[in-house]
């Protein structure tokens, strides 16, 4: 990993984060309870290996239902803290993505919401957000430069912008930013053009690596949309874009920014609903071969997460109209976390959980594959807790009665 040039910029924006080992829940603690002082980061000691060991032990102690729920990143569209807290407590999902409908008008209110979502600060959920800046921005107070202009500036400008953006995300109590668009294209007519951080493999690689390094002290970076929208024309929100680009061509072009982001230390990789038919007819989300390539050829060892599974249904293709079947297929292919947004309601997470449990019990989904996914997700949750990511103390964060 490169040494960050942007530590000062991030520090200037960051407020005190509270990393909690076993401690009082910041969202429910009473005035007399002891808490670490604001501004202090309580780092849980231990090597990466020991965190993984703790994660494996935690998963081993879970029921099958709990393991299935833990690999889901859910969503419901509300800012009601009581409703959000009940959702997290009853579903047991391992993460939650905040969309526009979850973001109130001020940072203070958003911190109250993320505190309500964090039922157990010792094992916080992965709270995610699409904060690319520019065209895709959930935080209206993000004034940092985006890919629209950064792709034409030196990589140092990207590092500084994402250092500030990562600090905003962390300051809101959010741990994961789905913000690093590693797709590349120089075609101004492509839907991904304005969002992409590069127009060539080389420029994409330098800007993607810079974005990851900039965010690293504050937020967990996610590279998207693997293996790359640039070669596959079309919008995956409306269909399954495809390309006949060969694997060797991909290695020399669209793979380069993803490899750079992985080398820079990005802990999450989002798989896109797009198909490179010379490699696999299936969309990458459901392709075990693309997951093998990411891990064995590019060396990715973090959490593989799907793009929103609801987009598969929105494609209109008959083979993707069963959300439970999509979720099971995505896990079987190698995803560790299932992102579910479009068309979801308060009961969706429970339906997906039940479907995963049934698949394991029937043998359709190997229990070992679910365990592997759950351990990877739990490891990242424990690492986030240890680093204080997303855990911001807030004196008024108790959910509404």
Residue 211's pLDDT band (cuts 50, 70, 90): very high
Q: Is 397 among the domain residues?
A: no
Q: Is 147 among the domain residues?
A: yes
Residue 49's pLDDT band (cuts 50, 70, 90): confident
Task: Return the CATH number at 190.
Answer: 3.20.20.300
pLDDT digits (tens, 9 = 90+) for 278-312: 999 999 999 999 999 999 999 999 999 999 999 99
Check whether 401 has a pLDDT greater than 60.
no
Check whether 32 has a pLDDT greater than 50.
no
Check whether 176 has a pLDDT greater than 80.
yes
pLDDT digits (tens, 9 = 90+) for 76-122: 999 999 999 999 999 999 999 999 999 999 999 999 999 999 999 99
Q: Looking at residue 28, what is its pLDDT?
A: 40
Check whether 400 has a pLDDT greater than 70.
no
Q: Looking at residue 30, what is its pLDDT?
A: 37
> Would you give the end-to-end CA distance of the chain in angstroms?
46
Q: Is 390 among the domain residues?
A: no
Residue 17's pLDDT band (cuts 50, 70, 90): very low
pTM of the model: 0.86
Q: Is 394 among the domain residues?
A: no
Mean pLDDT for all residues in the chain: 88
Residue 134 lies in domain: 7-385
Q: Is 391 among the domain residues?
A: no
Residue 236's pLDDT band (cuts 50, 70, 90): low
Check whether 19 has a pLDDT greater than 50.
no
Q: Is 393 among the domain residues?
A: no
Higher pLDDT, 10 or 354: 354
Average pLDDT in the 179-188 region? 97
Check whether 3 has a pLDDT greater than 60.
no
Residue 389's pLDDT band (cuts 50, 70, 90): confident
Number of domains present in the structure of the chain = 1
Q: Is 396 among the domain residues?
A: no
Check whether 1 has a pLDDT greater than 80.
no
Q: Looking at residue 386, what is its pLDDT?
A: 83
Q: Is 399 among the domain residues?
A: no
């Amino acid at each position: 990993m490169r040494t960050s040039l942007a530590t000062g910029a991030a520090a200037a924006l960051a407020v005190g984060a509270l990393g909690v080992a076993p401690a009082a829940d910041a969202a429910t603690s009473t005035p007399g309870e002891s808490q670490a002082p604001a501004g202090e980061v309580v780092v849980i000691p231990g090597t990466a290996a020991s965190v993984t060991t703790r994660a494996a032990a935690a998963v081993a102690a879970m029921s099958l239902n709990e393991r299935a729920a833990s690999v889901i990143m859910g969503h419901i569209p509300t800012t009601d803290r009581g409703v959000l807290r009940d959702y997290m407590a009853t579903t047991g999902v391992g993460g939650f993505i905040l969309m526009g409908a979850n973001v109130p008008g001020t940072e203070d209110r958003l911190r109250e919401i993320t505190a309500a979502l964090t039922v157990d600060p010792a094992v916080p959920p992965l709270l995610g957000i699409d904060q690319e800046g520019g065209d895709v921005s959930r935080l209206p107070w993000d004034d940092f430069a985006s890919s629209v202009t950064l792709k034409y500036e030196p990589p140092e400008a990207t590092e500084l912008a994402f250092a500030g953006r990562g600090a905003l995300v962390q300051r809101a109590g959010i741990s994961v930013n789905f913000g690093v668009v590693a797709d590349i294209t120089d075609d101004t007519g492509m839907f991904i053009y304005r969002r992409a951080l590069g127009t060539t493999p080389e420029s994409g690689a330098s800007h993607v690596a810079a974005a990851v390094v900039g965010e690293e002290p504050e937020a967990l970076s996610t590279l998207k949309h693997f293996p790359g929208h640039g070669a596959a024309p079309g919008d995956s929100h409306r269909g399954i874009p495809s390309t006949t680009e060969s694997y060797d061509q991909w290695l020399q072009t669209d793979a380069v920014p993803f490899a750079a982001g992985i080398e820079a230390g990005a802990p999450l990789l989002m798989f896109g609903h797009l198909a490179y038919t010379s490699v696999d007819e299936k969309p990458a989300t459901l392709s075990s071969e693309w997951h093998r390539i990411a891990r064995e050829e590019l060396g990715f060892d973090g959490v593989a997460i799907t793009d929103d599974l609801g987009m598969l249904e929105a494609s209109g293709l008959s083979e993707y109209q069963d959300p439970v079947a999509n979720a099971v297929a995505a896990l079987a292919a190698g995803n560790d976390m299932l992102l579910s947004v479009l068309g979801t309601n308060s009961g969706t997470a429970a339906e997906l959980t039940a479907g995963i449990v049934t698949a394991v019990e029937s043998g359709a989904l190997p229990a070992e594959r679910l365990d592997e996914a759950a351990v990877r997700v739990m490891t990242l949750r424990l690492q986030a807790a240890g680093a204080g990511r997303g855990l911001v103390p807030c004196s008024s964060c108790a959910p509404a009665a």
